[in-house]
């Protein structure tokens, strides 16, 4: 008999602390619930609040990405291309030079390239020269030179700036260049001899 009562007492000994722990937990929850002061009700956010929060986050994120993408890239490329492409079609207007359509110009081909004088004539006419004749130079030469009659040095500078002559020189009377130019246009002011 003695052994039965000690076994039963052992079972009661560990059950009491477990029951006491469970009771403390339950009492803790109940006291905490009332201590909150809201009567223990659970407050859930409304659907409208949840949607508004999500929409705000999405808008902010999209705006930041779009702004960065649009600001970078295309502006720089476009500006560079336009600036580079448009410069250099005609030279700057030379101080003291007559208007392009008032310069009597003869273009002589001093190269081995056939048709170069006619091509340069078309270029000269496209930028305003009106009195342009073409022919062949008496000899080939290395550089393109704008030869001018007395008093027409400003006109030669304008031709050189527009059509790419490396130098301007006075036209020597009786030279082969003068003879070839006068054959094309007797009242020539500037003779452009193409070299290369």
Q: Is 92 left (phi over 0), alpha (psi -120 to 50) or beta?
A: beta
pLDDT at 11: 62
Contacts of 128 (CB under 8 A, 6+ apart): 90, 99, 100, 101
More confident residue, 90 or 177: 177
Sheet of 167-170: strands edge to edge? 131-136, 104-109, 190-194, 145-148, 167-170
Contacts of 161 (CB under 8 A, 6+ apart): 91, 92, 94
Provide φ and ψ at 134, rounded to 5°. -130, 155
Tell me the pLDDT tens digit for each residue of 127-180: 999 999 999 999 999 999 999 999 999 999 999 999 999 999 999 999 999 999
Give CATH for domain 100-194: 3.30.70
pLDDT at 91: 72
DSSP class of residue 133?
Answer: E
How far apart, in whole angstroms, are the C-alpha atoms of residue 33 and residue 97? 101
What radius of gyration do the chain's Cα atoms show?
49
**End-to-end Cα separation, the chain, in angstroms:** 133
pLDDT at 89: 52
How far apart, in whole angstroms, are the C-alpha atoms of residue 29 and residue 40? 10
pLDDT at 21: 83
Mean pLDDT of the chain: 76
pLDDT at 47: 54
Tell me the pLDDT tens digit for each residue of 49-83: 554 544 444 444 444 444 444 444 443 433 333 33
Domain ranges of the chain: 2-71, 100-194
How far apart, in whole angstroms, are the C-alpha atoms of residue 121 and residue 73? 41
Percent of the chain exceeding pLDDT 90 equals 52
pLDDT at 30: 74
More confident residue, 104 or 66: 104
**Nearest residue to 153 via CA among 170, 178, 130:** 170
pLDDT (mean) for 106-121: 96
Percent of the chain exceeding pLDDT 70 equals 64
């Amino acid at each position: 008999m003695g052994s039965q009562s000690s076994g039963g007492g052992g079972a009661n000994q560990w059950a009491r602390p477990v029951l006491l722990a469970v009771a403390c937990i339950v009492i803790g929850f109940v006291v905490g619930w009332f201590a909150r002061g809201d009567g223990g009700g659970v407050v859930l956010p409304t659907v409208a609040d949840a949607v508004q929060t999500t929409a705000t986050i999405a808008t902010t994120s999209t705006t930041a990405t779009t702004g960065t993408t649009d600001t970078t890239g295309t502006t720089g490329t476009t500006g560079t291309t336009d600036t580079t492409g448009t410069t250099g079609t005609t030279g700057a207007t030379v101080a003291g030079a007559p208007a392009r359509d008032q310069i009597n110009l003869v273009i002589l081909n001093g190269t081995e390239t056939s048709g170069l004088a006619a091509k340069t004539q078309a270029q000269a006419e496209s930028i305003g020269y009106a009195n342009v004749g073409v022919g062949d130079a008496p000899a080939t030469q290395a550089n393109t030179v704008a030869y001018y009659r007395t008093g027409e040095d400003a006109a030669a500078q304008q031709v050189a700036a527009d059509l790419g002559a490396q130098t301007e020189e006075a036209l020597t009377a009786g030279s082969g260049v003068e003879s070839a130019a006068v054959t094309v246009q007797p009242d020539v002011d500037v003779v452009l001899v193409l070299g290369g």
